[in-house]
Amino acid sequence: MSDLIQGIDVCIAGTGSHVPEHILTNDELAMRVDTSDEWIVTRTGIRERRIAAEGEHTSHMATKAARIALEQAGIEAGEIDLIIVATITPDTLTPATACYVQQALGAHGAVAFDISAACSGFLYAMKISKRLISDGAFNNALIIGAEKLSAFVNWEDRATCVLFGDGAGAAVLRKAEPGEGSIIATEMGTDGRLTHLLSIPGGGSACPITIDNAAERHATLAMLGKEVFKHAVTRMKEAAERVIERAGLTPGDIACVIPHQANLRIIDAIADRLDMPNERVFVNLHKYGNTSAAAVAIALDEAARSGAFKRGDHIVLVVFGAGLTWAAAAIRW
Ligand code: UT7
C-alpha cells in the first residue's frame, strides 16, 4: 500500500528514546546457553542488549521515550491528539499500552490505542497518524515503538535468546509549517501466508497458557531464522526503493538510511543492493540487539541526535517483521 492522496504536509517535530539500565553481554549469555560472543557477533553483529528490570513495563519505557520527544517538539502532554503504541509485548492484553502511557503523561485529550505489526509497527503507526493528520482529523500524534521482549524470550533457546532486547523510541508528528520537513512517501505491506516463520504462538486465545502446558513455553518467540532472513532482505530492499522513487529521489539523494536493527548481515545486504555506502546506513544493533517495534524508533532518535543527518536532508526508514510485515518511509528532515 502506498500514498495515493497527498494532503497537508506532516513533519516529525521531536524524537526520543529510552533503554533500560541493565546491560546483558554476549559473554554473560554464553554462561547460560551453548553460544559464544564470536558466534553472536559474526552471525548478527549484536554485542549486548538491554534488559528491563522486573517492575519496568513496556509502558514505562514508552512514557520515558515519549517525554523526551514531546520536550523536543515543544508540545505539552495536554495538547496531544493521538497516541499510538506499536508493540507485541504490551503491559496487558487489554487495555492497550497506549492507555497506560496516556495516563502516565496526563494526555487526557488524546485518543490512544495500540497496533500489533511486530518490528514494522512504528512505521505502520507513522503512516496511520500521518494520514489522520493530513486529513485534518488530528493536529498532532505521538507514536511510540516499545517492547519488553525479555518477558517473551525462551532463555534456554540459544537460537533466539541471543537476538532480542528491550527499549522504546518515540516521535511527535504534527502539521508542517511552510519550509519545514515532511514525511514524503510511505509504503507498507503484509504477507499473512508466512505467519509461521516468526511468532509467539501461545498466550493468545488460540493457545492460552494453562497449568498443563506452562512448561512448554508457548508464550515465547519462535523463529525460522534463515527463511525470515531471505524475506527481510528482499522486502526491505523493495520497500526502500519504492519510497525513494515515489519521493522523486534516487539512492544518491539519501543522506541516511535507518533500517530495522535485527542483523548486521541483513543491513549490509540491503545497503549493497541499494548501492548505499555503509557510512550512510545507521546501525546501533551492537548495543541493543533486536528490539522489534522499538528498534527503528530508537535508531531514528539516536541518528538524529548524533548528527547523522541535518535539516533539509532526505532520509529513509525501512523495517521488516513478523506477519510477515514490512514498511518504509522517505522523509525530508
Ligand atoms: O526482527 C524480525 C526479523 N528478524 C530477522 O530478520 C532475523 C533473521 N534471521 C537471522 O538474523 C539469522 O537467521 C539468525 C541470526 C537468527 C541465525 O543465523 P544463521 O546464519 O541463519 O544461522 P542458522 O540458524 O542457520 O544456524 C547455523 C548454526 C546451526 O548449527 P548447525 O545446524 O549448522 O550445526 C545452529 O544450531 O548455528 C547454530 N546456532 C548457534 N550457535 C551458537 C544457532 N544459534 C546459535 C547460537 N550460538 N546462539
- What does the pLDDT profile of the chain (333 residues) look like in tens digits? 545 456 789 999 999 999 999 999 999 999 999 999 999 999 999 999 999 999 999 999 999 999 999 999 999 999 999 999 999 999 999 999 999 999 999 999 999 999 999 999 999 999 999 999 999 999 999 999 999 999 999 999 999 999 999 999 999 999 999 999 999 999 999 999 999 999 999 999 999 999 999 999 999 999 999 999 999 999 999 999 999 999 999 999 999 999 999 999 999 999 999 999 999 999 999 999 999 999 999 999 999 999 999 999 999 999 999 999 999 999 999
CA of 311 to the centre of ligand 1 (A): 39
In the DSSP assignment, the letter for residue 21 is S
The domains spanning 10-180 and 183-332 adopt the same CATH topology:
yes
Q: Rounded to an integer, what distance in angstroms lies between the CA atom of residue 265 and that of residue 277?
A: 14
Which CATH number, 3.40.47.10, 3.20.20.60, 3.90.550.10, 3.30.230.10, labels domain 10-180? 3.40.47.10
CA of 223 to the centre of ligand 1 (A): 10
The residues annotated with a catalytic role in the active site are 119, 260, 290
Residue 171, sorted as left (phi over 0), alpha (psi -120 to 50) or beta, turns out to be: beta
Which residue owns the Cα nearest ligand 1 atom 48?
158
CA of 229 to the centre of ligand 1 (A): 10
Model pLDDT, residue 3: 57
Which residue owns the Cα nearest ligand 1 atom 11?
263
Q: Give the three cell numbers for residue 168.
A: 522504546
Model pLDDT, residue 2: 47
176: closest CA among 5, 3, 12? 12
Domain assignments of the chain as residue spans, ordered by start? 10-180, 183-332
Q: Does ligand 1 lie within 6 Å of residue 157's CB atom? A: no
Q: Model pTM greater than 0.85?
A: yes
SS3 109: coil
List the end-to-end C-alpha distance of the chain, in Å, as a whole number: 23
Ligand 1 atom with minimal separation from the 229 CA: 8
Angle at which helices 264-273 and 225-246 cross, to 10°: 40
Q: What is the CATH number of domain 183-332?
A: 3.40.47.10
SS3 77: helix
Model pLDDT, residue 138: 97
Q: Does ligand 1 lie within 6 Å of residue 7's CB atom? A: no
Q: Is 177 exposed, middle or buried (0-12, 13-18, 19+ CB in 10 A)?
A: exposed
Model pLDDT, residue 8: 87
240: closest CA among 208, 275, 212? 275
Q: Which amino acid is at 24?
A: L
